[in-house]
A and B are shown apart, each in its own frame.
Chain A
């Protein structure tokens, strides 16, 4: 089984708009801005892949190339085995581009009427269309609101209708450009759950989504590519990307309280230790201590021994994992 998306050596530059002065003095000179540079990656079938990067990183350009809306300058881009330049019609048959822009709908038509229109453009016959529309409305949870005008939809419903539209031809691959951009935290969480559980886990779709939300990428994507200024800086599982940056030596110790002791006892206890710079937090009976021992191996043993000797029950002692945000900052140099 081949990959759903395969990109090798993809580069794209956009011509910059000329100033009047340049039109006169340098009519044949065309300055260009790099959008993508030598990008290569492969996305497996049924994978939930995240393109992570700040604004202007090249995420949208990459998605638009996959959606055949922009032509690449160099490199080869295959979607479901079809070349985006040579077989654009087959590519569009294989994938659905979730256009999150809410203006991409007709506001004075209902949700159902919008889907009816787009189903015709996706070659869904008049007989099949009502059933297919009902199916995608059901999948996206919009059945009850299908006959309301689009202008009366909430931001979350508009986003769901965008997904419903992309699901009309039942594509194997879905491309999503910042699907939670305009959603409130609760709606964004629902959308993430929907993408992960309904689209990928249940329906086996391949989803490639772009986001600049690190938390979102880490939470739902099986793999992510960090794009920065058109280049891929890392492409792997989130945990492996986090592991790319060296640990700073901090350890997290989880303790259980002594019978009557409280968090202040731990603070007092730690105050006497030179190599323990504690950040203490309490979660029920459990106390979490972040320590930064000067001497890694021996230092850790001594801290654990001292806590045990003082009557604390040490539940766990693990090196503090770097966050994706820290990995992202280190990789992008920002």
Chain B
């Protein structure tokens, strides 16, 4: 816990020292929402069949999609980003010379991005409610949290696999590229999966983000009980159980390979 607190304090101090970037981040939340708000006005009043399971309105649908996908992507990006940032900034060698192992460094350093991401989700939702008059009727908060937690674990597994690639190959990580591109395209972030051709819908079922957003939207926008999202919970639990241990195994192999090749701190 001490180490997590130390990383948290370090990151917070660094973030606050870059004042303009902090303001920019807030603007980065508002502008995409505005874009989709205007898009949603284009289709206002039209009944869209594919949106019915999520309450029928487009803007709440896309708000939840953007807010949660950005958070879930943090799980994917943050681990590899921690490694590559420490490599390029030159701090990795000093970190590894301490009495803390690399996996512990990785996990402790990821706390801040996750907290920051959670704050961003709340800001997204708050902006939606305050500025764009989105209403969440009977949201199932527990269901939302269960799905979010499972997705974070599942994506963290992928993220740690991605960090393993970064350790060994430095750049050109195929996991990150494939996973983030397909998730953005097929995961149902800004349009419902059911709008795509059937064969693409079949492909999208292999993407964890599809199930995450489906479960979160059902919980948050349609107020489904936990039993209504049990399929999503089962799939995400299975993927987490598979990907997390695999991630840790690959990461320990990658650390050994990088130490053997003498490239641990190179980039």
Chain A interfacial positions (CB closer than 8 Å to B) = 12, 14-15, 35, 61, 64, 67-71, 73, 89, 92-93, 96-97, 99, 101-106, 108-109, 113, 116-118, 120-123, 125-126, 165-166, 169
Of residues 7 through 29 on chain B, the ones whose CB sits less than 8 Å from some CB of chain A are 7, 9-10, 13-14, 17-18
A106 touches B6 (CB 8 A): no
* B105 contacts chain A at the CB level, 8 A cutoff: yes
With a cutoff of 8 Å between Cβ atoms, the chain A residues found around residue B99 in the complex are 89, 92-93, 121-123, 169
Contacts A109-B10, A109-B14; is A104 near B90 (CB within 8 Å)?
yes
Q: Which of B6, B101, B264 contacts A69 (CB 8 A)?
A: B264
With a cutoff of 8 Å between Cβ atoms, the chain B residues found around residue A68 in the complex are 259
B13 touches A97 (CB 8 A): no
Residue in A96, A104, A122, A126 with the greatest tally of chain B CB atoms within 10 Å: A104
Closest chain A residue to B264, Cβ basis: A69
With a cutoff of 8 Å between Cβ atoms, the chain A residues found around residue B93 in the complex are 69, 97, 99, 101, 104
With a cutoff of 8 Å between Cβ atoms, the chain A residues found around residue B89 in the complex are 103
Closest chain A residue to B95, Cβ basis: A121
Q: In the complex the two chains form, what is the Cα distance from A97 to B62 in whole Å? A: 50
Q: Which of B7, B91, B100 contacts A105 (CB 8 A)?
A: B91
With a cutoff of 8 Å between Cβ atoms, the chain B residues found around residue A122 in the complex are 98-100
CB distance from A305 to the nearest CB of B (A): 62
Contacts A101-B90, A104-B93; is A118 near B259 (CB within 8 Å)?
no
User: What are the 4 A-B residue pairs with the smallest beta carbon separation, nearest first?
Assistant: A103-B90, A120-B6, A121-B98, A104-B94
B6 touches A108 (CB 8 A): no
B10 touches A106 (CB 8 A): yes
* B227 contacts chain A at the CB level, 8 A cutoff: no
Q: In the complex the two chains form, what is the Cα distance from A105 to B94 in whole Å? A: 8
* B2 contacts chain A at the CB level, 8 A cutoff: yes
Q: Which of A89, A109, A120, A125 contacts B101 (CB 8 A)?
A: A89
* B35 contacts chain A at the CB level, 8 A cutoff: no
A70 touches B90 (CB 8 A): no
B259 touches A121 (CB 8 A): no
A103 touches B91 (CB 8 A): yes
Closest chain B residue to A103, Cβ basis: B90
Chain B 16-47: CB-based contact to A (< 8 A → 1; otherwise 0) = 01100000000000000000000000000000
CB distance from B4 to the nearest CB of A (A): 9
Q: Which of B9, B18, B100, B262 contacts A64 (CB 8 A)?
A: B262
Residues of B in contact (CB 8 Å), total: 31
A108 touches B261 (CB 8 A): no
Q: In the complex the two chains form, what is the Cα distance from A273 to B18 in whole Å? A: 76
B105 touches A35 (CB 8 A): no
* B265 contacts chain A at the CB level, 8 A cutoff: yes
Closest chain A residue to B3, Cβ basis: A120
With a cutoff of 8 Å between Cβ atoms, the chain A residues found around residue B98 in the complex are 92, 118, 121-122
A108 touches B94 (CB 8 A): no
A120 touches B13 (CB 8 A): no
With a cutoff of 8 Å between Cβ atoms, the chain B residues found around residue A64 in the complex are 262
CB distance from A60 to the nearest CB of B (A): 10
Closest chain B residue to A33, Cβ basis: B262
Q: In the complex the two chains form, what is the Cα distance from A179 to B27 in whole Å? A: 45
With a cutoff of 8 Å between Cβ atoms, the chain A residues found around residue B261 in the complex are 14-15
CB distance from A157 to the nearest CB of B (A): 16
20 A-B Cβ contacts within 8 A?
A14-B261, A64-B262, A67-B97, A68-B259, A69-B259, A71-B259, A92-B99, A96-B97, A99-B94, A105-B94, A106-B91, A108-B13, A109-B14, A118-B98, A121-B3, A121-B98, A122-B98, A125-B2, A165-B94, A166-B97
Q: In the complex the two chains form, what is the Cα distance from A15 to B259 in whole Å? A: 12
Closest chain A residue to B16, Cβ basis: A108
Given contacts A70-B259, A89-B101, A106-B10, 14 further A-B contacts (CB under 8 A): A14-B262, A69-B96, A104-B90, A106-B91, A109-B13, A113-B10, A116-B6, A118-B94, A120-B6, A121-B100, A123-B100, A126-B2, A165-B94, A166-B97
Q: In the complex the two chains form, what is the Cα distance from A15 to B262 in whole Å? A: 9
Contacts A71-B259, A92-B97, A104-B91; is A113 near B3 (CB within 8 Å)?
no
With a cutoff of 8 Å between Cβ atoms, the chain B residues found around residue A93 in the complex are 99
Q: In the complex the two chains form, what is the Cα distance from A102 to B94 in whole Å? A: 10
CB distance from B117 to the nearest CB of A (A): 22
A120 touches B90 (CB 8 A): no
* B119 contacts chain A at the CB level, 8 A cutoff: no
Q: In the complex the two chains form, what is the Cα distance from A152 to B41 in whole Å? A: 52
* B203 contacts chain A at the CB level, 8 A cutoff: no
B260 touches A71 (CB 8 A): yes
With a cutoff of 8 Å between Cβ atoms, the chain A residues found around residue B94 in the complex are 99, 101, 104-105, 118, 165
* B256 contacts chain A at the CB level, 8 A cutoff: yes
* B249 contacts chain A at the CB level, 8 A cutoff: no
* B5 contacts chain A at the CB level, 8 A cutoff: yes
With a cutoff of 8 Å between Cβ atoms, the chain B residues found around residue A108 in the complex are 13-14, 17-18
Q: In the complex the two chains form, what is the Cα distance from A126 to B105 in whole Å? A: 18
Chain B 34-64: CB-based contact to A (< 8 A → 1; otherwise 0) = 0000000000000000000000000000000
Q: In the complex the two chains form, what is the Cα distance from A102 to B93 in whole Å? A: 11
Of residues 210 through 267 on chain B, the ones whose CB sits less than 8 Å from some CB of chain A are 256, 259-262, 264-265
Q: In the complex the two chains form, what is the Cα distance from A169 to B254 in whole Å? A: 28
Residue in A64, A97, A121 with the greatest tally of chain B CB atoms within 10 Å: A121
A120 touches B260 (CB 8 A): no
